Structure 1
């Protein structure tokens, strides 16, 4: 069975959706959650789900040697970012080439880049007057929100939407598509 690590900085709802999906499909197992925030909600989710969750300071995660040694020890084959707000550095890209996935809460290449996360993205979409938004699942490279797109899905922006109401529809897309995209990418790796 394939082994996955998830990196998260926030509440961990996408991490939980992925864990549930993979437990049902039995295609892979999430063996580790890593977070750069000691107070991240993902830690409580991990405890409840019985998944190991470690905290490492951002500087250690960026430098890479400690977390990458841990991932190697656990036999991790794919790294999945789920609301992880730290730029992935060269050591990670070298250790996991074409094996780090991310999800962004907009249709890239618009509304991406440094500082474009969470409500900032939804505020920008609304300010731009867009009639639709969505998600982008992509491979990670050395730039924020830049790697090869694997999947996009969209939803309407409704009259009277707030960042919160738009975010709720975006979260539905994330929870629906991200777990399946992770499993699909693992199958694609098997074919290589």
Structure 2
């Protein structure tokens, strides 16, 4: 069975969607660790309620050692690292040790509205300011860049004329909660083939 570590920075609603799908039997994996880069993140509380081992790290204290610290915790213990609302940049040896085995959920249709400084509500504000007719989310592999890894899955929502950034964010988040467990299932069920930027999913 696929063993995963989930990394969070905030509320952990995407983590909850993974926990719910595991509990319902829709997702065939186990969460070995939930790791936060911020002390007091609510995602840690969600994990504790589900009986999952939790680790709280302080990104301000660890700074450039954060990724190496995480690598030390998960190396040899998990098969896949899942970034679920994790805001720190992954860097260093962990990218080599877990090449093609780190995934991230981003609240836009990459390559639009992504990269440095594009996270949370800022993404949805930018989508509305640009006048986009559709928005959505992307699950992608994590590489040396920021939101530059190969795309695994994307889900689309309509942008409505009376949308506020908060309303749009909520609609996109509903799709995130479907997309992230679905992407994990591709790894758990061995349905994913990675060839450079081309990712193929067995039907």
With normalisation by structure 2, the TM-score equals 0.88
- 1:97 is the counterpart of 2:89: no
* Structure 1 spans left out of the alignment, 5+ residues: none
Tell me how far apart the structure 2 counterparts of residues 163 and 78 of structure 1 sit (CA, whole Å): 32
Residue in 2 that maps onto 1:2: 2
Q: Which runs of 4+ in 1 moved over 4 A?
A: 189-192
- Please list the CA deviations of residues 153-173 of structure 1 after superposition, one character each: whole Å capped at 9, or x if unmatched: 100000110011001100110
Tell me how far apart the structure 1 counterparts of residues 58 and 96 of structure 2 sit (CA, whole Å): 21
* Structure 2 spans left out of the alignment, 5+ residues: 195-203
- 1:66 is the counterpart of 2:76: no
Q: Tell which deviates more after alignment, 53-62 or 79-88.
A: 53-62
Classify 1:145/1:9 alpha carbon distance in 2 versus 1 (closer, same or farther; 3 Å): same
Contact 2:68–2:92, Cα closer than 8 Å, also in 1: no
Tell me how far apart the structure 1 counterparts of residues 80 and 55 of structure 2 sit (CA, whole Å): 17
Classify 1:177/1:191 alpha carbon distance in 2 versus 1 (closer, same or farther; 3 Å): closer
In proportion to residue count, which structure has more helix?
A: 1
Residue in 2 that maps onto 1:76: 78
Residue in 1 that maps onto 2:46: 45
Tell me how far apart the structure 2 counterparts of residues 26 and 155 of structure 1 sit (CA, whole Å): 24
Residue in 1 that maps onto 2:56: 55
Contact 1:61–1:67, Cα closer than 8 Å, also in 2: no
Cα-Cα RMSD: 1.8
Tell me how far apart the structure 2 counterparts of residues 65 and 131 of structure 1 sit (CA, whole Å): 41
Residue in 1 that maps onto 2:32: 31
For these two proteins, the number of residue pairs brought into alignment is 191
With normalisation by structure 1, the TM-score equals 0.93
